[in-house]
């Protein structure tokens, strides 16, 4: 009897490597029951159920990522289909492609492929304000889910740009991803030592190692070298068992022939899982965060599996387990494949089949009988109101409130069992706290609301948004203060950077091809070139004056100090940097000071100036 008790306790402890997993993003969960029959009660007590890192016994997930709203993606898709490869096409605003073909996004989802997020306007994310980190992804998601009628959980970074050593920036980008429901990124930060700065909790984000043999003219030798390196990196593959081809559909005719050779080498390997990034992200989150509880009944082991809903995950992918320590004879609630157990989602749990949005005029073309609004009640309190003027009840109404990084919680959830036809209902959530740092106060306030519901037995989704004008009474940010101009051929940046130099007499001229980017962050200067014929060797000059009430040393911190970024910086007549550490000390004058940046075209500058706690730094309109 003591032996049986010990075995029962041991089986309970070992029944899953993820027993009691945390579900770090607080996705909605439900429980399924699987009953396995064994030859004897002893085998039933010994049996363990372990979630597999990938479906079946696959060793590697293989996919592809293709960036931007490009018509050429359709050509890339056809080449992928020839070899049974799947991938995800990451879109910005595909308005021109949709005008050319309204089914553009739907076509990209054939052959097992999916669509993903690449932000609406393709900014250098470190250069925009904190609210825009969220808005760029959230509006991108709403736009694409409605246009493509498909759930999205994956992103790739515009310009592969995300890391800045200055305070708050990278963490705000990570918060924006989580707030928008992103759990998958086949991107450059996979092996970066700076990745923790994004703030993603453990087991919450699936990464893929990207293979980049070239866009227009891919090189087979480069691909084979990169693939060999990836497959040899066992430690990385244990954490993120995925590779992804990348990244633009710019191939020439000769390039497409090489692409076929690359696809041929990737295809048809029996121990590789060919998936899109939406499926990969959904499976990995669930496999790492599901939990299993067990009880026995004679020769049967009854496993209760707590897992995430497909609507939260963004894809309906069966979960696979290995049955160990005993051999099952048959299963109820799952499908046996030898000692492998496949558990599809409950038939009543599915991804939305119809997705709509509320427009600014208060109507939805997808759900004209519904009205959904989001309102801020002040003091961190938010209210959602749903009005159902249709003939059918709304069931299992799940409200997900989504917020930028100024708020503590990226997402908050509240549910209602039903909203009767001809009635209305509301739910309210309260944010625990608001971040006080000045960095988070810039940008036009924005939040979004997602309502998932069942109607007439089908799953649906409706979005609403809330926004206000940007606050006016904030200190002048660098981008508004700086003078931006074309770099003259014989300019003297050191002389220009002296505070007593009169800029009007320095031969500097503004160019009509240079503008300042909208929504620049409070640490940023981001000139944008509007002319594609702008000479590559013509730099941009950004001049920024500031004053301080103390001559105490300042710390200047910026990735732009790193030599490879080719940004030159002068301060009060002297050149500073380069500095691999991204930090230099400056000795300011009490009063007016001047920074001058010489940057390549379309290069954003992100920096902080900090001094003693009692030091006051004020940026001045530079003219």
How much is the pLDDT for 462? 98
| Cα–Cα distances in angstroms (integers) from residue 575 to residues 254, 361, 572, in the given order | 46, 54, 8
432-436, 551-555, 609-613: the lowest-pLDDT one: 609-613
The pLDDT-based confidence of 189 (bands split at 50, 70, 90) is confident
More confident residue, 166 or 382: 382
The pLDDT-based confidence of 614 (bands split at 50, 70, 90) is low
Q: What is the pLDDT of residues 418-442, one digit of tens each?
A: 999 999 999 999 999 999 999 999 9
- Residue 186 CA to residue 595 CA, distance in Å, equals 37
Q: What is the pLDDT of residues 10-43, one digit of tens each?
A: 333 333 345 556 899 999 999 999 999 999 999 9
In this predicted structure, the answer to whether residue 513 has a pLDDT above a threshold of 90 is no
Tokens of 584: 């230099």
Using an 8 Å Cβ cutoff, are 120 and 142 in contact? no
Residue 592: closest CA among 559, 543, 557:
543
DSSP secondary structure letters along 277-298? HHHHHHHHHHHHH-EEEEEEET
How much is the pLDDT for 167? 84
Residue 186: closest CA among 295, 278, 254:
278
More confident residue, 557 or 191: 557
Contacts of residue 165, Cβ cutoff 8 Å, sequence gap at least 6: 557, 558, 559, 582, 583
Q: How many C-beta atoms lie closer than 10 Å to residue 42's C-beta?
A: 15
| Cα–Cα distances in angstroms (integers) from residue 184 to residues 242, 287, 305, 366, 445, in the given order | 11, 14, 23, 28, 26
Q: What is the pLDDT of residues 73-89, one digit of tens each?
A: 999 999 999 999 999 99
Contacts of residue 212, Cβ cutoff 8 Å, sequence gap at least 6: 222, 226, 246, 247
2-16, 167-181, 264-278: the lowest-pLDDT one: 2-16
User: Which letter, b or e, does each residue of 424-448 get, where b requires 16 or more Cβ atoms within 10 Å of its Cβ?
Assistant: ebebebebeeebeeebbbbbebbbb
How much is the pLDDT for 13? 35
- Residue 67 CA to residue 160 CA, distance in Å, equals 11
| Cα–Cα distances in angstroms (integers) from residue 22 to residues 183, 306, 495, in the given order | 15, 11, 58
132-141, 155-164, 597-606: the lowest-pLDDT one: 597-606
Q: Tell me how many degrees the CA angle 281-286-290 measures, rounded to the nearest 5.
A: 165
How much is the pLDDT for 103? 97
Q: Could you give all domains of the chain from N- to C-terminal order, each with its CATH number?
A: 29-56+296-327+334-348 (no CATH), 60-270 (3.20.20.370), 354-467 (2.60.40.10), 478-620 (no CATH)
Segment 268-275 mean pLDDT = 97
SS3 267: coil
The beta-strand segments (E) located in 420-530 are: 423-430, 446-455, 458-467, 483-486, 514-516, 524-525, 527-529
Average pLDDT, the chain: 92
The radius of gyration of the chain from alpha carbons, rounded to an integer in Å, stands at: 27
How much is the pLDDT for 490? 83
Segment 364-384 mean pLDDT = 97
Share in percent of the chain as helix, strand, coil (round to 5) = 25, 30, 45
In this predicted structure, the answer to whether residue 248 has a pLDDT above a threshold of 90 is yes
Percent of the chain, pLDDT > 70?
A: 95
DSSP secondary structure letters along 497-528? TSTT--GGGTT----TTEEEPTTB-TTEE-EE
Say if pTM beats, i.e. exceeds, 0.85: yes
Q: What is the pLDDT of residues 559-576, one digit of tens each?
A: 888 888 889 999 999 999
- Residue 334 CA to residue 32 CA, distance in Å, equals 10
In this predicted structure, the answer to whether residue 537 has a pLDDT above a threshold of 80 is no
Tokens of 121: 């306007």
Percent of the chain, pLDDT > 90?
A: 81
Contacts of residue 168, Cβ cutoff 8 Å, sequence gap at least 6: 130, 405, 437, 439, 440
The pLDDT-based confidence of 495 (bands split at 50, 70, 90) is very high
Handedness of CA 336, 337, 338, 343 (dihedral sign): negative
């Amino acid at each position: 009897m003591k032996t049986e008790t010990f075995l029962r306790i041991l089986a309970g402890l070992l029944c899953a490597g993820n027993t009691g997993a945390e579900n770090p993003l607080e996705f909605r969960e439900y429980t399924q029951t699987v009953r396995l029959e064994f030859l004897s009660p002893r085998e039933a007590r010994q049996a363990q159920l372990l979630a597999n890192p990938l479906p079946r016994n696959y060793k590697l997930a293989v996919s592809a990522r293709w960036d931007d709203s490009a018509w050429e993606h359709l050509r890339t898709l056809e080449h992928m289909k020839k070899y049974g490869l799947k991938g995800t096409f990451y879109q910005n605003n595909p308005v021109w492609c949709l005008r050319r073909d309204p089914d553009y996004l739907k076509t990209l989802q054939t052959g097992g492929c999916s669509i993903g997020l690449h932000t609406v306007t393709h900014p250098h994310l470190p250069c925009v304000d904190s609210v825009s980190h969220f808005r760029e992804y959230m509006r991108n998601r709403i736009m694409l889910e409605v246009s493509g009628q498909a759930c999205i959980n994956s992103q790739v970074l515009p310009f592969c740009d995300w890391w800045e050593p200055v305070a708050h920036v990278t963490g705000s980008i990570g918060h924006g991803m989580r707030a928008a429901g992103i759990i998958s990124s086949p991107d450059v930060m996979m092996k970066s030592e700076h990745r923790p700065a994004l703030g993603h909790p453990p087991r919450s984000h699936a990464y893929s190692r990207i293979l980049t043999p070239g866009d227009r003219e891919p090189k087979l030798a480069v691909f084979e070298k990169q693939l060999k390196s990836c497959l040899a990196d066992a430690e990385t593959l244990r954490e993120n068992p995925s590779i992804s081809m990348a990244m633009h559909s710019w191939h020439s005719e000769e390039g497409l022939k090489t692409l076929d050779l690359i696809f041929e080498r990737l295809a048809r390997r029996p121990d590789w899982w060919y998936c899109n990034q939406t499926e990969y992200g959904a499976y990995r989150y669930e496999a790492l965060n599901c939990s299993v509880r067990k009880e026995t009944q004679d020769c049967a082991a009854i496993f209760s599996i707590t897992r995430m809903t497909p609507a939260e995950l963004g894809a309906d992918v069966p979960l696979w387990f290995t049955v160990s320590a005993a051999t099952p004879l048959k299963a109820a609630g799952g499908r046996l494949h030898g000692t492998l157990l496949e558990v599809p989602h409950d038939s009543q749990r599915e991804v939305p089949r119809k997705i709509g949005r509320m427009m600014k005029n208060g109507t939805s073309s997808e759900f004209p009988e519904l009205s959904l609004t989001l309102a801020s009640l002040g003091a961190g309190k938010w209210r959602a109101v749903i009005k159902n003027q249709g003939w059918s009840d709304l069931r299992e109404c799940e409200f997900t409130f989504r917020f930028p990084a100024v708020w503590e919680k990226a997402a908050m959830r509240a549910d209602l069992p039903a909203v009767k036809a001809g009635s209305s209902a509301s739910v309210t959530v309260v944010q625990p706290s608001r971040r006080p740092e000045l960095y988070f106060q810039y940008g036009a306030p924005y939040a979004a609301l997602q309502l998932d519901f069942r109607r007439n037995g089908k799953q649906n989704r409706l979005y609403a948004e809330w926004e206000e004008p940007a606050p006016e009474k904030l200190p002048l940010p660098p981008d508004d203060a700086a003078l931006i101009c074309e770099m003259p051929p014989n300019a003297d940046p050191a002389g220009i950077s002296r505070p007593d130099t009169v800029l009007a007499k320095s031969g500097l001229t503004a160019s009509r091809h240079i503008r300042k980017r909208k929504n620049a962050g409070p640490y940023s200067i981001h000139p944008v070139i509007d002319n594609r014929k702008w000479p590559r060797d013509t730099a941009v000059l950004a001049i920024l004056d500031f004053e301080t009430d103390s001559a105490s040393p300042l710390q200047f911190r910026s990735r732009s100090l790193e030599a490879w970024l080719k940004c030159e910086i002068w301060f009060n007549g002297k050149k500073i940097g380069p500095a691999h550490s991204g930090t230099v000390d400056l000795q300011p004058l009490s009063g007016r000071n001047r920074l001058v940046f010489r940057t390549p075209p379309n290069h954003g500058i992100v920096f902080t100036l900090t001094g003693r706690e009692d030091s006051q730094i004020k940026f001045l309109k530079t003219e």
